């Protein structure tokens, strides 16, 4: 028979093992859910849910929604857009894109 200290040690070890297992399962579920959501929302407009089209304009790849008019930039593209010198680029682009001369 073991001492009381041995029983406490064994219980702590068992609880630690259960806790590690639960964290591992939770992480796997989180990764699985993230992959599912990415597949569900890939190239979809966050505003209206319709499909996005990737358009190149002056060296930047812009994800555009032709349904609601939303424009979205991926990582690194914001820096490209911010470096443009012409402040009227967006108005020109929107006019070209949607056939408007506003």
pLDDT of residue 51: 92
Structure tokens at 85: 């010198």
Structural domain boundaries in the chain: 1-42, 53-98
pLDDT digit string (tens) for the chain, length 102 residues: 568 888 899 999 999 999 999 899 888 888 888 888 888 888 899 889 899 999 987 777 889 999 998 888 887 787 777 776 666 666 676 676 666 554
Q: Are 91 and 102 in contact (CB under 8 A)?
A: yes
Contact 62, 55 (CB under 8 A): yes
**72: how many CB neighbours lie within 10 A of its CB?**
15
């Amino acid at each position: 028979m073991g001492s009381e200290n041995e029983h406490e040690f064994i219980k702590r070890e068992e609880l630690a093992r259960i806790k590690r297992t639960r964290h591992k399962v939770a992480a796997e579920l989180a990764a699985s859910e993230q992959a599912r959501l990415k597949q569900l929302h890939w190239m979809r407009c966050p505003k209206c849910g319709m499909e996005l089209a990737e358009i190149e304009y002056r060296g930047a790849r812009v994800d555009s929604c032709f349904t609601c008019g939303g424009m979205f930039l991926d990582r690194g593209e914001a820096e490209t857009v911010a470096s443009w010198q012409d402040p009227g680029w967006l108005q020109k682009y929107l006019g070209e894109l949607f056939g408007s001369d506003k």
